[in-house]
Chains A and B, each alone.
Chain A
Amino acid sequence: MDDSPIEAPRPLEPRPKAIIIGASSGIGAALARRLASEGYFLALAARRGDLLQDLRDEINAQGKGQCLTYSHDVRQAEQAPELLQRMLRDLGGLDLFVYCAGIMYPSDPERFDAEQDLEILQVNLLGAVAWLDPVALRFRREGGGHIVGIGSVAGDRGRRGTPAYAASKAGLHTYLEGLRNRLARHGVTVTTIKPGQVQTDMLKNAPQVRGPITAERAAELIWRAIRARKSTAYVPARWRWVMLVIRHIPSFIFRRMNL
């Protein structure tokens, strides 16, 4: 944690508070900037602590939001509950939790690498479960709150180049759906974001590029989905229709296609 001064709380005008896991680059960093511009008080965690500190300095220098940072590798799932408690203590509350950590390896139909695939599952899915379970318990007791998971359009179908990545995101989607059904009656919102292609570091590992949007644009669309308390949002929205078609391609055709 850094020691940036925290202004005196105003009980009638509480600052909205958010945690973003996986905020050092890409969508996470862009979303941190977007939330900061809305006045959020942020706790950001990521593996690459140096990148995170630059982001923190940038956000705190702008003066609208406030930002604390924590170095954390989501593969160390057992650390999640303790770090969560520390972040909550530093923030003094929580309105929004975003799980944004994700990795991907280059698409390659000829690569069968369990070590690599397990790592993908660890970061994209198991890390999410390790964080979201204690967060869900807290929001359930509070009777409110908002959980956001960054999934992927890739999770809607098992493509031949990235089976583990697709599985990790499909697992995340289903897990988030389960949480949503579990928590809706307790006033908690769970939003699944399914980005299409976004210009981030991850994109260089992605199979093909069809007009990717910038991370800033993605963050803006994600913020709108958060504000509207959506259940599922494709980012950008046209992916909803693209994926509607792709989801309905029969398997015997899909496996012959070059997707």
Chain B
Amino acid sequence: MSPLLPPDHLERVDSWGQAQHAMAYVFRPSTVEGMRAAFDLARRAGCSVALRGAGRSYGDAALNSEQMLLDLTRMRRVLDWDPEAGVISVEPGVTIGDLWRYVLGDGWWPAVVPGTMQVTIGGCAGMNVHGKNNWVAGTFGEHILSFEALLPGGETVTCSPQENANLFHAMIGGLGLLGCFTRVTLKLKRVHSGWMEVQALAVPHIEGMLEEIDRLKEADYVVGWADGMARGRALGRGQIHVARELEPGEDPAPAQSLRLENQELPDTLLGLLPKSLMWRLMKPFVNNPGMWLINSGKYWASRLSHGHRFTQSHAAFHFLLDYIPGWKRSYLPGGLIQYQAFVPKEQAAQAFREMLARCQAAHLPTYLAVLKRHRPDPFLLTHAVDGVSLAMDFKVTQRNRARLASLAQELDEVVLQAGGRFYFAKDSTLRPETARAFLGQDALKELKRLKERCDPEGLLQTNLARRLFPDLIPTA
């Protein structure tokens, strides 16, 4: 028999949405040598290894039930920083929060950031995340100049768009199934102020939302919030936030506004209520009537502030998911899932209208819906299209799980019909045949070829990989 994995390392690991969890043997290496040792142990024990950063994937992308999990959050050093060129090299466990705090004083900001700053750079690269500027700036991977990675066999590789280009485009967005980033070099974005100018616009329905998002797509940042509970013609009504970086000279004292104190999110609401308590106050509203009230209220408030312009710090504008710490706990005990679909722009209005209506018909309305504009990117497992994404949060309860799963399959049909795609960082519901359908045979063949080259033993696996790509995993 193979040797045991040490029971001391057995931990419960939750998906970020907390609608599922896994027991795994968690190792937290702080050096590349430590990573190697973990791979060796897994090989001897005959088990697989999953890579995990901050654990911000909503579903099972960073879970590995009953096997090994490499938590890379202790690989958290900045390795090199060139404040003239705005080029930084970091270990994979450095977070977006670490990164912007490190560089902002020199007048730089990460070129692409997701809605939370808690994520690690390794996770951002492995999932090829996007931000509210996907149309103008592309995905996170498009700002990676090069990376070094450790393959499970012990080999190290250096990849860039010029060197090992195939592997570069497969490992970025490669779900951590080919190798583990050990050094990521990023090109940052110049900013001339700690402030941004933001404008809020109300839109009366989903068609209006998509028109406005398309019209505003050249802006620095644009994001839409939709009321997923409004019915009929008003379906998909909501609010768009469009933001602009300030030009040089617009901010009279950039050295002042670029200071970190200016960016930190306040820890109280209105200077009084500790935000750490907010989720408890939200909890009674996380149900259909409560969320109807909140969504409607938010929409009518947005009508009042239509066209309103204001300034906001970068951190406050970008990291909405961090604004109320622990908000996801208001969805407990069942947790939440997110369903995000990317649909070509021509089909988006019809597809999104149908999707929102189907959620309502199934009595599973989304409590939070967010829209963004996207463009295609050159990565192998890309989720992007020239179109729009709709991300919907759903509360999970013991009673609605089966209905939610079948609703997700219905929505999958609509998205596939419209030529759409999906995003694995969010996923908990896709079926293997759906993943095959949207990725296509060619991409999956190439993934398999690279898997055989980088990880012939199939050491790198996750629950998501076993669920969606069973062909990728060599059978024992």
A179: CB under 8 A from chain B? Answer: no
The answer to whether residues A93 and B431 also contact, given A10-B405, A11-B59, A137-B7 and a CB cut-off of 8 A, is: no
Q: Residue among B2, B10, B19, B408 with the most chain A CB within 10 A?
A: B10
Stretch of A77-85, A196-204, A206-214, A218-226 lying at the B interface: A77-85
List the B residue with the shortest CB-CB distance to A92.
B65
The answer to whether residues A93 and B405 also contact, given A8-B431, A137-B7, A142-B12 and a CB cut-off of 8 A, is: no
Q: Is the CB of B59 within 8 A of A92?
A: no
B23: CB under 8 A from chain A? Answer: yes
Top 3 nearest A-B pairs (CB, nearest first) are A88-B66, A12-B405, A92-B65
A91: CB under 8 A from chain B? Answer: yes
> Chain B 4-34, CB within 8 Å of chain A: the 1/0 string?
1101001110010001111100000000000
The answer to whether residues A81 and B4 also contact, given A11-B20, A143-B12 and a CB cut-off of 8 A, is: yes
Q: Within the assembled complex, what's the spacing in Å between the Cα atoms of A88 and B24?
A: 10
Q: Is the CB of A91 within 8 A of B7?
A: no
Give the residues in chain A near B405, CB-CB below 8 Å: 10, 12-13
The answer to whether residues A12 and B11 also contact, given A85-B5, A93-B65 and a CB cut-off of 8 A, is: no
Q: Within the assembled complex, what's the spacing in Å between the Cα atoms of A49 and B11?
A: 32
Q: Is the CB of B2 within 8 A of A141?
A: no
**Which residues of B (370-406) have their CB < 8 Å from a CB of A?**
396, 401-402, 404-405
> Chain A 45-87, CB within 8 Å of chain B: the 1/0 string?
0000000000000000000000000000000000101110110
A14: CB under 8 A from chain B? Answer: yes
Q: Within the assembled complex, what's the spacing in Å between the Cα atoms of A82 and B429?
A: 32
B441: CB under 8 A from chain A? Answer: no
Main secondary structure of the interface of A (DSSP, over half): helix
Stretch of B179-187, B240-248, B353-361, B462-470 lying at the A interface: B462-470
A182: CB under 8 A from chain B? Answer: no
> Chain B 57-89, CB within 8 Å of chain A: the 1/0 string?
001100001110000000000000000000000
B414: CB under 8 A from chain A? Answer: no
Min distance, Cβ B49 to any Cβ of chain A, angstroms: 13
**Which residues of A (83-102) have their CB < 8 Å from a CB of B?**
83, 85-86, 88-89, 91-93
Measured CB to CB, the residues of B under 8 A from A are 1-2, 4-5, 7, 10-12, 15, 19-23, 47, 59-60, 65-67, 337, 396, 401-402, 404-405, 408, 428-429, 431-432, 463, 466-468, 470, 475
A115: CB under 8 A from chain B? Answer: no
List the A residue with the shortest CB-CB distance to B433.
A8
**Apart from A86-B2, A142-B23, A143-B12, what are 15 other A-B pairs with CB-CB below 8 Å?**
A8-B431, A8-B432, A9-B466, A11-B19, A11-B59, A11-B467, A12-B20, A13-B401, A81-B7, A88-B23, A92-B66, A93-B22, A137-B7, A141-B10, A142-B21
Q: Within the assembled complex, what's the spacing in Å between the Cα atoms of A32 and B158?
A: 52
Give the residues in chain B near A12, CB-CB below 8 Å: 19-20, 337, 396, 401-402, 404-405, 408, 428-429
Measured CB to CB, the residues of A under 8 A from B are 3, 8-14, 79, 81-83, 85-86, 88-89, 91-93, 134, 137-138, 141-143
Q: Is the CB of B4 within 8 A of A85?
A: yes
Min distance, Cβ A30 to any Cβ of chain B, angstroms: 27
> Which residue of B4, B396, B402, B428 is within 8 Å of A82 (Cβ)?
B4
Min distance, Cβ A14 to any Cβ of chain B, angstroms: 7
Q: Is the CB of B60 within 8 A of A85?
A: no
> Which residue of B59, B402, B467 is within 8 Å of A8 (Cβ)?
B467
Q: Is the CB of A141 within 8 A of B23?
A: yes
Min distance, Cβ A82 to any Cβ of chain B, angstroms: 5
List the A residue with the shortest CB-CB distance to B427.
A11
Min distance, Cβ B411 to any Cβ of chain A, angstroms: 13
Q: Within the assembled complex, what's the spacing in Å between the Cα atoms of A11 and B16?
A: 13
Q: Within the assembled complex, what's the spacing in Å between the Cα atoms of A163 and B466?
A: 50
List the A residue with the shortest CB-CB distance to B67.
A89
Q: Within the assembled complex, what's the spacing in Å between the Cα atoms of A65 and B405?
A: 20
Give the residues in chain B near A79, CB-CB below 8 Å: 1
List the B residue with the shortest CB-CB distance to A134.
B7
Q: Within the assembled complex, what's the spacing in Å between the Cα atoms of A199 and B102?
A: 73
12 cross-chain CB contacts under 8 A? A8-B468, A11-B19, A11-B463, A12-B404, A12-B428, A13-B405, A14-B20, A79-B1, A85-B4, A85-B5, A89-B47, A137-B10
Q: Is the CB of B10 within 8 A of A138?
A: yes
List the A residue with the shortest CB-CB distance to B60.
A11
